[in-house]
Amino acid sequence: MNKQHVLILLCSGVFSVITGSTSTDEFTKQDLKLWQDEYMSAVKKGREVFTDPKLGTNGVVCAQCHPNGSNTHPETYPKFQKQFGQITQMWEMVN
């Protein structure tokens, strides 16, 4: 890299900082916040469904037997379940 290349790089960097411009393939802080808020709202909803006995019909919650999601192995589905004798989706195992 010669001096001219370094100067061009520096100028474009300074220009980006001054104008606040980003290219279309970059995430802005606003994008990140939107994504995190959406993600955390799904986490909150999931936690409620997993722990709130008022949302079910029999007063039993998943967390009674699976504290903090223990022994649910969601990443292993779909998989063969011996007791059903077939490949099973996770929702079928939950039911």
Measure Cα distances from 74 to 60, 68, 71, 90 in Å: 20, 13, 9, 7
Which is closer to ligand HEC, CB of 33 or CB of 66?
66
Least spacing, CB of residue 65 vs ligand HEC, in Å = 3
User: Least distance in Å: CB of 61 to ligand HEC?
Assistant: 6
**C-alpha Rg value of the chain to the nearest Å:** 25
Q: Which residue has the tokens 């998989």?
A: 79
Whole-number Å distance between alpha carbons of 76 and 70: 13
2 vs 95, which CB is nearer to ligand HEC? 95
> Which residues contact ligand HEC by CB under 6 A?
60, 62, 64-66, 71-73, 76, 83, 90, 93-94
Minimum distance of ligand HEC from residue 57's CB (angstroms): 11
